Each structure stands twice: as structure tokens, then as C-alpha cells.
């Protein structure tokens, strides 16, 4: 058997791989007969050698190759010019096109699985191999599809969830299903048989606390001292460590600066990916703050944060006192 699994949703991709494994016999013996290969320096001859080995006390040998298709992704024109002197990519593609012929004569006891992230439809190796494989694509879930996934995941875990809580989770976490799954597991345990509500999400989910960080940064940069202090004390009462708060505020300021720079000519999705964010809420908030505040304002706030960090580390101020003074100074700046 030959499988190709690819897409941005690596959580669902991982689950599908686990389903494939379940159909290949005893898990302990399958582990002995599983080869996980990194494609970076892999040659076709090496893959053939591995795939041709008969399984030991198991009905199948599982061979998993990661990121092989990505090696042959079409590159931007500028990057192609930079790498023009290297004839390797073309010769490598010619070599790997031979995988089509090998798959046709691969031992029936071998299960070959190619796993990749986001791959374009015009990837040359994908085009040549797709007719021979069972292809599964895993695009990142959004909006209604993501909401349906959340409801299904909660039901599988034996819980129930209100529509408002579903929408809040989708808004805060987005399509990062590893994080979403982890938060749902915590919420099911926390709710103890009761319906998961918006309040449950706000109280327990770390992403909801991140939303409060956004609000705190807004209040600071807009000079709303009273609101900023209320949000600061609320986060501290919820158990957030002062050092962590300082790190999160600093992180948000860095995101604002990067969003300000990236917003020149890139789409919202490209900006979100460059910032390393998984939810539209986080990226939209960073973009909104980037438009609202000047670079000079953000720089001044950043320098104040560094001063507060030094004051805490040198013992000049207690950490909570340093944060209180920092917020007042930033609001008055």
C-alpha cells in the first residue's frame, strides 16, 4: 500500500497515520517493523532498500518519509535565480520520478507513507505519484468546519458545549488542533458533566488569558491607567506570574512591530503565518494595534519594559510593585 498525507492540519494527519497503523497488526511488533526516514539527504536507492526488507513476525513493514514532496515544491522566481548555479534539484527530481516505477513492484508487505505539510497542487512529484497512492489532504480548518470539529471532539470526550463556547474557542485558538484538543480535554474535566460555557472557556483557557493581554496592551498604549491596572490585577489574581506577564506584554509589542512591517504588501493569511500565529483573532488584533500605534510609541514602551525587567532582577523592586509602576508609567508616557 502507498499513502500520501499532506496539509497544514498536522493533527488530523497524525490521527490518520494512527488509523493506518491500527490496521497493520500488533502495535508492539509493528513498532519493530517501522522505519521513519528524514527526506533531506535521502536517496531513492536508500528508500528502495528499506522498503524491500521483509517484515519480522509482523504482516507489514511500515515506512514513513517526512517532507519528501516539499523538496520539490516550486520556488519563487528570485529563489530560483539564486540557486540557478546548482543543477541538483532537476537531477534529484529525475531520480525521484523513478519512485513511480518502484511503487508498482514494491513488496505487498510494505506500506509506504509520505507525510508533508502544505504542498501546492502543481508539485511535480505529487503529480507523478498521486495516481498510484491513496492521497489524503488536510487543509487547516476554519469557521463552520472548525466549529463542527470542536462540537464533535467535545462529544467524543463525553462532554457537551454551548454554541457560544464553541464560537469563543474558534475565535481564540483558531485552526491549531493540537492546542484546541488540549484545551477541550481540560474543559471537559473542569466541567465535570456540566455543559461547557463561555465562562468556562474564559476561566480555564490560556488563550482567553492571552486575549486579556491584548486588552491590557491596548489600555496601556491608549493611556487608560485605571483600566490597565484593573486588567493587570485581574491577571495576577488568576494566578499569572508577574515574570510571565512581563514576557507576554513584551511579546505582544514585538508582534505589533513585526505586523507593522509585514502589513506592507502581504495578505492577512501570509502575515499570520509569518507571525507564527494560529488564530485569526490573534493576528487581526496584532494588525489592528500595528495600525493604531506609532513605532515611536511602541519603542518607548519596550524600553520601559526592559527597565522594569532589570529592576526586578536586581531586586530594586518587588515584581508586582514593579509591574504596577510600569503600567502607570507606560500609561502616562
Question: Consecutive sets of 10 residues in the chain, 333 residues long: mean pLDDT of each?
Answer: 93 94 90 91 92 93 94 66 49 87 93 93 91 93 92 93 92 83 90 90 74 82 86 80 83 88 81 78 82 86 87 84 87 79
- pLDDT on residue 149: 95
CA atoms within 13 A on the CB side of 257: 14
- pLDDT on residue 84: 47
- Return d(Cα 118, Cα 9) in angstroms, integer: 9
- Return d(Cα 179, Cα 172) in angstroms, integer: 11
Please report the domains of the chain, with CATH numbers, ordered by start residue. 2-137 (3.40.50.300), 149-204 (1.10.8.60), 207-332 (1.20.272.10)
Selection from 161, 254, 255, 140 nearest residue 204 by Cα: 161
- Return d(Cα 56, Cα 31) in angstroms, integer: 11
CA distances from 41 to 33, 38, 49, 71, 258 (A): 22, 7, 15, 10, 34
pTM above 0.75, yes or no: no
Q: What is the 3-state secondary structure (H, E, C) of 74-126?
A: CCCHHHHHHCCCCCHHHHHHHHHHCHHHHHHHCCCCEEEEEEECCCCCCCHHH
Residue 127 cell numbers, joined: 503529480
In tens, the pLDDT along 193-217 reads 899 999 888 877 766 667 778 888 8
Selection from 163, 185, 203 nearest residue 11 by Cα: 185
CA distances from 331 to 220, 281, 320 (A): 5, 25, 17
Strand partners, 113: 3, 64
- Are the C-beta atoms of 269 and 245 separated by less than 8 Å? no
- pLDDT on residue 323: 86
**Angle CA(53)–CA(115)–CA(48) in degrees, nearest 5?**
25
- pLDDT on residue 2: 95
- pLDDT on residue 86: 45
In tens, the pLDDT along 28-60 reads 999 999 999 988 889 999 999 999 999 998 999
Alpha helices per DSSP H over the chain: 10-22, 27-32, 44-51, 77-82, 88-97, 99-105, 124-129, 143-156, 163-173, 177-191, 198-204, 206-221, 225-237, 242-262, 268-275, 280-292, 295-313, 319-332
Give the three-class secondary structure for 316.
coil
User: What b/e sequence results for 138-177 when a residue is b if at least 16 CB atoms lie within 10 Å of its CB, and e otherwise?
Assistant: bebbeeeebbebbeebbeeeebebeeebbebbbbbbbbbb
- pLDDT on residue 77: 54
- pLDDT on residue 88: 52
- Are the C-beta atoms of 195 and 166 separated by less than 8 Å? no
In tens, the pLDDT along 97-135 reads 899 999 999 999 999 999 999 898 889 999 999 999 999
Residue 50 cell numbers, joined: 528499506
- Return d(Cα 68, Cα 47) in angstroms, integer: 11
Strand partners, 111: 62
Of the chain, the percentage scoring pLDDT greater than 90 comes to 38
- pLDDT on residue 89: 54
Amino acid at each position: 500500500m502507498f499513502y500520501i498525507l499532506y496539509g497544514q492540519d498536522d493533527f488530523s494527519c497524525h490521527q490518520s497515520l494512527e488509523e493506518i497503523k491500527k490496521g497493520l497488526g500488533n502495535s508492539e511488533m509493528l513498532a519493530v517493523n517501522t522505519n521513519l526516514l528524514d527526506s533531506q539527504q535521502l536517496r531513492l536507492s536508500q528508500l528502495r532498500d528499506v522498503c524491500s526488507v521483509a517484515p519480522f513476525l509482523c504482516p507489514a513493514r511500515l515506512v514513513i518519509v517526512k517532507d519528501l514532496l516539499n523538496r520539490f515544491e516550486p520556488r519563487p522566481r528570485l529563489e530560483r535565480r539564486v540557486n540557478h548555479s546548482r543543477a541538483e534539484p532537476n537531477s534529484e527530481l529525475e531520480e525521484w520520478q523513478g519512485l513511480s516505477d518502484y511503487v508498482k513492484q514494491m513488496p505487498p508487505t510494505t506500506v509506504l507513507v509520505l507525510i508533508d505539510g502544505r504542498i501546492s497542487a502543481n508539485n511535480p512529484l505529487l503529480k507523478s505519484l498521486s495516481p498510484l497512492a491513496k492521497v489524503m489532504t488536510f487543509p487547516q480548518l476554519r469557521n463552520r468546519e472548525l466549529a463542527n470539529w470542536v462540537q464533535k471532539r467535545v462529544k467524543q470526550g463525553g462532554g457537551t458545549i454551548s454554541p457560544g463556547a464553541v464560537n469563543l474557542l474558534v475565535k481564540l485558538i483558531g485552526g491549531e488542533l493540537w492546542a484546541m484538543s488540549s484545551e477541550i480535554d481540560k474543559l471537559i474535566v473542569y466541567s465535570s458533566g456540566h455543559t461547557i460555557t463561555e465562562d468556562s472557556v474564559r476561566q480555564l483557557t490560556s488563550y482567553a488569558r492571552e486575549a486579556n493581554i491584548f486588552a491590557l496592551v491596548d489600555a496601556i498604549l491608549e493611556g487608560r491607567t485605571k483600566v490597565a491596572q484593573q486588567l493587570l490585577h485581574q491577571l495576577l489574581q488568576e494566578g499569572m506570574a508577574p515574570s510571565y506577564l512581563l514576557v507576554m506584554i513584551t511579546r505582544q509589542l514585538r508582534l505589533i512591530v513585526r505586523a507593522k512591517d509585514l502589513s506592507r504588501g502581504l495578505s492577512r493569511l501570509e502575515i499570520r503565518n509569518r507571525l507564527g500565529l494560529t488564530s485569526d483573532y490573534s493576528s487581526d488584533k496584532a494588525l489592528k494595534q500595528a495600525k493604531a500605534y506609532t513605532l515611536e510609541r511602541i519603542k518607548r514602551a519596550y524600553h520601559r519594559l526592559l527597565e522594569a525587567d532589570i529592576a526586578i532582577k536586581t531586586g530594586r523592586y518587588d515584581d508586582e510593585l514593579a509591574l504596577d509602576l510600569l503600567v502607570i508609567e507606560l500609561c502616562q508616557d
